[in-house]
């Protein structure tokens, strides 16, 4: 019994805890924290499938997809149902880039050409 106790007390980790008791407490807290985090990640896992939680209606779920066009065709603009009413015909959305004309009075033509590039 004495030899077992002597071998435990001569262990360098036990000596380290006697020299740095404040770091030993911090080490215990960190070990507990990472242990709980590892347990929780092991139980729940990192991969979640959010796609299964989304309910997609069967008919006309994506109004921007035109059923008359080919399946491989991506030449469509976004459409939406007015006010979310699916009984109405879908409308085409406005362009995302809108141009506006600014009148330039009193600015030399060379400055306009220089900054309009």
Q: Residue ranges per domain, the chain?
A: 21-46
> Does residue 32 have a pLDDT over 80?
yes
Helix axes 12-19, 21-44, angle to 10 degrees: 120
What pLDDT sits at residue 15?
79
Mean pLDDT of 35-47: 80
CA dist., res. 47 & res. 96, Å (int): 35
Encoding tokens for residue 95?
């362009």
> Does residue 100 have a pLDDT over 70?
yes
Interval 63-90: pLDDT, tens: 666 666 655 555 556 778 888 888 888 8
The residue written with tokens 């979310």 in the block is 84
What pLDDT sits at residue 99?
72
- What band does 34 get if pLDDT is binned at 50, 70 and 90? very high
């Amino acid at each position: 019994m004495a030899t077992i106790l002597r071998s435990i007390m001569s262990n360098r980790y036990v000596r380290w805890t006697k020299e740095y008791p404040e770091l030993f407490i911090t080490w215990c807290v960190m070990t507990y924290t990472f242990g709980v985090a590892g347990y929780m990640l092991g139980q729940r896992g990192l991969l979640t499938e959010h796609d299964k939680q989304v309910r997609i209606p069967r008919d006309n779920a994506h109004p921007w997809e035109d059923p008359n066009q080919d399946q491989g065709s991506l030449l469509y603009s976004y459409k939406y149902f007015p006010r979310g009413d699916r009984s109405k015909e879908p409308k085409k959305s406005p362009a995302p880039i809108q141009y506006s004309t600014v009148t330039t009075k009193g600015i030399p033509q060379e400055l306009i050409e220089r900054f309009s590039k």
